[in-house]
Amino acid sequence: MKKIVVVGASLAGLRCAEALRREGFTGALTIVGAEQHLPYDRPPLSKEFLSGEFDQERLALRTEPYEELNADLLLGQRAQSLSLEARSITLASGEEVDFDGLVIATGAAPRTLPIADGVSGVMTLRTLDDALRLKGALADRKRICVIGAGFIGSEVAATARGLGLDVTVLEAGDQPMLRGVGPIIGETLAELHRSNGVDLRTGVKIESLEQIGESVRVNIAEEASLECDLVLLAVGAAPVTQWLEGSGLALDDGVVCDATLLAAPGVVCAGDIARWPNPLFGGESMRVEHWTNAVEQGVHAARRLLSDDESAPAFSTVPFVWSEQYGIKIQAAGRFSGEDRMEVVHSGTDDARLVAIFERHGRISGVIGFSEPRRVMQYRRLIGAGTLFDEALAASL
Amino acid sequence: MKILVNFDLCKSNAVCMASAPEIFEVRDDGYLYILQEEPDETHRAAVEEAVRLCPTRAITIEDQAL
């Protein structure tokens, strides 16, 4: 393999490129990124960067010199199409880039709602440019309305409260992340917002958004309308696969890969875009939008691309995610939903601490913890080991 | 190898504890403890994974000149 192209210059793409060099790839390496910026870290965008605690320099994902990576960085260049026959990608500029090996790491982009079309006071948060714009807006506005109480919406709500803004969070479900975490944890998350002065409204249906001068009017079904200076739309993200349509790759909410992250001969995927069967969960097809997953898959994809071995190892992981809201560290690992059996296994005297575990098929499948990093990691290990749920319950970690 | 943790950056996410439990431990007080500051080479792969997976990039490995 003489030339490898990595499409996507964020966490998964960069860590993959670094791993390719570490694993001994000495051929030509090109990294294509849609954004102008050098690879930067996204989790602080809704937290420390937005609050002003971190400056932009602190976000740099690579601290070693880029010269050592010996790669062509094509930044501000969006990939537009892929031809597997020609072994090349075409950029938005029309330029074609050939490859022997391809890494697809174009990530995900925020979902939007049709009601937000053309409303100038509505923002989303994914990129550094989004964060700079949002940060500027938070500095001179007083009232923000966040639509969606998932991780990004909740983190921005917490940061905005910290900056002294009036914050309203509108959530379609009856509780924050109800389908994801179930009623007990959902209620804990709701209480966290409310006790920090957020006007959290759940079970809300938004009918329309109107720009009226400098403010946005949020029209809610069966409730009074709400006026704010700024709306953050935080209703999840969708994988960036548009440029791969017609390429022959299987697309199904992500790029469908085999268990080794191979999507086609000489083509691997990493990060938010990769859908693969995870052997640790009975081969369940999953796509994981978490930070640690992007790093792990980037490294695995690099090794897979460099090995012609048919018996290359599968990528298996216990997905892990963390969030921080109002000074509380929220961590979760594994697979679970609000439908699964859940048991609270630990709650501290300080009621901000809590650990709950989830059951699927008789085994511990997931864990969520509030300010309990040690226990979350210990239960995560039990999940990876396929421990029976009853044994996990009895483990008293 | 010598393990260095920048405790100004560390937020005790405990991801390192999953990669290298014999080296890193986050305790109930919420702080990270380094169990072996100069582990032998058998731990290198695990520690390198911990370095890569640290969400705050607080861990570095220092290799002494032989």
How many angstroms separate the CA atoms of A28 and A26, rounded?
7
The domain ranges of chain B are 2-62
A-contacting residues of B 21-50, CB under 8 Å?
Answer: 21, 25-28, 30
What value does the mean pLDDT take over residues B28-52? 95
Find the helix or strand (DSSP H, E) in which A193 lies.
helix A178-195
The domain ranges of chain A are 3-109+237-306, 112-233, 327-394
pLDDT the model gives residue B3: 97
Query: For A121-134, what is each residue's pLDDT tens digit?
Result: 999 999 999 999 99
* Contact between chains at A320 and B15 (C-beta distance less than 8 A): yes
The answer to whether the beta carbons of residues A249 and A263 sit under 8 Å apart is yes
| Whether CATH 3.30.70.1350 fits A327-394 | no
What would the CATH number be for the domain defined by B2-62? 3.30.70.20
Six token digits for residue B44 = 């290198």
Q: A3-109+237-306: which CATH topology?
A: FAD/NAD(P)-binding domain (3.50.50)
pLDDT, greater one: B25 or B64: B25
- Count of Cβ atoms closer than 10 Å to residue A260 Cβ: 20
Query: For A332-365, what is each residue's pLDDT tens digit?
Result: 999 999 999 999 999 877 667 999 999 999 999 9
pLDDT, greater one: A301 or B66: A301
Chosen for mutation from A377, A383, A396 (greatest number of chain B CBs closer than 10 Å) is A377
pLDDT, greater one: B29 or A85: A85
Residue B28, burial from CB neighbour count under 10 angstroms (0-12, 13-18, 19+): exposed
Q: Name the residue with tokens 């100069």.
A: B38
Could you give the maximum distance between any two Cα atoms of chain B, in Å? 38
pLDDT the model gives residue A111: 97
Q: Which residues of chain A have pLDDT under 50?
A: none
Instruction: Share the mean pLDDT of chain B.
Output: 93
Report the residue from A291, A374, A380 with minimal CB separation from B55.
A291
* Contact between chains at A377 and B26 (C-beta distance less than 8 A): yes
pLDDT the model gives residue A228: 98
| A140 residue type, one letter | D
b (16+ CB within 10 A) / e for A220-239: eeeeeebebbbbbbbbebeb
| Whether CATH 3.50.50.60 fits A112-233 | yes
pLDDT the model gives residue B30: 86
Alpha-carbon distance values, A152 to A72, A156, A228, A236, B28 (Å): 32, 6, 19, 8, 27
What lies within 8 Å, CB to CB, of B22 at 6+ separation is B35, B36, B39, B43, B46
From the CA of B55, how many Å to the nearest CA of chain A? 8
What lies within 8 Å, CB to CB, of A56 at 6+ separation is A40, A49, A128
pLDDT the model gives residue A350: 65
pLDDT the model gives residue A314: 97
Within this chain, domains A3-109+237-306 and A112-233 share the same CATH topology: yes
B12: contact with A, CB 8 A cutoff: yes
How many angstroms separate the CA atoms of A199 and A188, rounded?
15
User: Per this entry, what is the length of chain B?
Assistant: 66
How many angstroms separate the CA atoms of B52 and A373, rounded?
18
- What is the pTM for the complete model shown? 0.96
Confidence check on the interface: ipTM exceeds 0.95, yes or no: no
